[in-house]
Structure 1
Amino acid sequence: MTKYIDNVNTYLSQMKIKQTYVSMKSGIDKKKLSRILTGTQDASGTDMERIANALGERMEFFLNDSFSVPRIMDFEPEKIAFYAGETTEKQEEVANKLLQLMENIDEVMSAKNRFLNISRE
Structure 2
Amino acid sequence: MTLFIENYNSYIDYYKIKQVYISKMSGIDKNKLSRILKGAQDETGADMEKMAGALGKGIDFFVSNDFSIPEASSRTFDSVAFYAGEPTDHQKDIAENLIEMMDNIDQVLGAKSRFIDIAGI
1:54 alignment partner AA:
A
Judging changes above 3 Å, is the alpha-carbon distance between structure 1 residues 94 and 43 closer, same or farther for their aligned structure 2 residues?
Answer: closer
Shift of 1:79: 1.0
Partner of 1:62: 62
Which residues of 2 match residues 27-66 of structure 1 at below 5 A?
Answer: 27-66=27-66
| Distance (whole Å) between structure 2 residues aligned to residue 64 and residue 95 of structure 1 | 32
Gaps of 5+ in 2: 85-91, 111-121
The count of aligned residue pairs is: 101
2:36 alignment partner AA:
I
- Structure 2 length-normalised TM: 0.70
Shift of 1:73: 4.4
Contact 1:14–1:72, Cα closer than 8 Å, also in 2? no
Partner of 2:19: 19
Gaps of 5+ in 1: 85-91, 113-121
Judging changes above 3 Å, is the alpha-carbon distance between structure 1 residues 17 and 95 closer, same or farther for their aligned structure 2 residues?
Answer: closer
| Distance (whole Å) between structure 2 residues aligned to residue 101 and residue 75 of structure 1 | 24
| Distance (whole Å) between structure 1 residues aligned to residue 11 and residue 25 of structure 2 | 16
| 1:79 correspondence with 2:69 | no
Judging changes above 3 Å, is the alpha-carbon distance between structure 1 residues 11 and 97 closer, same or farther for their aligned structure 2 residues?
Answer: closer
| 1:6 correspondence with 2:13 | no
CA offset digits 1:26-69 (Å, max 9, x no partner): 00000000000000000000000000000110100000011011
- Structure 1 length-normalised TM: 0.70
| Distance (whole Å) between structure 2 residues aligned to residue 94 and residue 56 of structure 1 | 18
Judging changes above 3 Å, is the alpha-carbon distance between structure 1 residues 98 and 46 closer, same or farther for their aligned structure 2 residues?
Answer: same
Contact 1:52–1:58, Cα closer than 8 Å, also in 2? yes
Q: Sequence identity of aligned pairs in percent?
A: 46
Contact 1:7–1:67, Cα closer than 8 Å, also in 2? yes
Contact 2:48–2:59, Cα closer than 8 Å, also in 1? yes
Shift of 1:95: 5.5
